[in-house]
Amino acid sequence: MSRKTARQMVVVVLVCCASLVVPASAQHFQQIPGTLSTVSAGRNEVFGVDSHSVVWRLNPKATAFVKVKQASLVSVAVGGGTLSQLDEVWGLNAKTEVFRFDYTSKTFVQITGELTQIAVGVGNQDDCHPYEVWGVNPDDEVFRYNYCTSEFDQITGFLTQVATGDGDVWGINSSGQIFHFSFAKMLFAQVSGILTQISVGVNDVWGVNGSHNVFRYDPATGVVNSEGANTAQIAAGGDGVWLVDTSTHIWRFDSSSESFVQVTGNLTNISAGSGAGVFGVNSGGSVFTFVRP
């Protein structure tokens, strides 16, 4: 048995047998005021949407969410913040209309376009793309926001989901096929594997397939390798790689042991920021943030 195969088997046992693992008691999720359906964290900003499409923004000083006025959205994407720039915050409403958060007015301003999913991350390609803002529309067409023209440019290809992180862009299509965007060729190139969910972190690309297996992309071989089972959601970011399993248990990827370690708590939605921290929501809508000792 190879070392790689042995490690995969250990990870599968860890994820499948959550009740047999003793979590690190010094690290835990702490509840904070608020009731949300989903949450999205960036470098400094954390936004969430509740069951009534009301949008909330975290006030870090008060550790409480404040309602964003005149906003009715079904999803929010936060990211792209660095030492020199704020996070970008984008959202979509039930009509697939697109909105961008304005820090001056503290409101969401509508942007021309129609998208069913949107992703936001740091940009490092050129002056017209200080952030990578990507989306897909109801026809699976792919778009990238151009800050010089203030418009979305269509990119060749058809995807149902797009993800960006650390300046990298990935996506999956309606058949679950995986694609990696080449900035040199301005095209999406297919990568071996089938996924239903994809997440891009710092030098990490993770995904989940239809059988709830979690995978990690190996740039050396160009394939995705199985890293565990029973996964409902994977979230990768500067604040680590996290997953929620099919029993709502929470797991954190430990790079030193190259395995997932259970953390006390139960969540149905999790977001790994790039400095703002790790936030999640449970089945009752309660909001939690991860606290390190």
Of the candidates 221, 217, 201, which has an alpha carbon nearest to the alpha carbon of residue 275?
Answer: 201
CA distance 87 to 273: 11
> Do residues 287 and 53 make contact, with C-beta atoms less than 8 angstroms apart?
no
CA distance 79 to 66: 19
pLDDT one digit per residue (tens) for the chain, 293 residues = 444 444 444 344 344 443 334 344 577 999 999 999 999 999 999 999 999 999 999 999 888 999 999 999 999 999 999 999 999 999 999 999 999 999 999 999 999 999 999 999 999 999 999 999 999 999 999 999 999 999 999 999 999 999 999 999 999 999 999 999 999 999 999 999 999 999 999 989 999 999 999 999 998 888 899 999 999 999 999 999 999 999 999 999 999 999 999 999 999 999 999 999 999 999 999 999 999 86
Q: Which SS3 state, helix, strand or coil, does residue 4 take?
A: helix
What pLDDT is stored for residue 62 in this prediction? 85
What pLDDT is stored for residue 203 in this prediction? 86
CA distance 39 to 61: 18
For the chain, what is the radius of gyration of the CA atoms? 18
Ordered by start, the domain boundaries in the chain are 3-18+36-291
pTM for this prediction: 0.89
- The amino acid that residue 180 corresponds to is H
What pLDDT is stored for residue 7 in this prediction? 45
Measured in degrees and rounded to the nearest 5, phi and psi for residue 11 equal -65, -40
Beta bridge partner(s), residue 143: 135, 154
What pLDDT is stored for residue 108 in this prediction? 98
Return the structure tokens found at 36: 């949300």
> Do residues 107 and 71 make contact, with C-beta atoms less than 8 angstroms apart?
yes
> How far from 270 is each of 29, 74, 161, 181, 232, CA to CA, in Å?
11, 16, 18, 25, 10
127-130-131 Cα angle (round to 5):
145
Q: Does domain 3-18+36-291 have CATH number 3.30.43.10?
A: no
> Do residues 261 and 227 make contact, with C-beta atoms less than 8 angstroms apart?
no
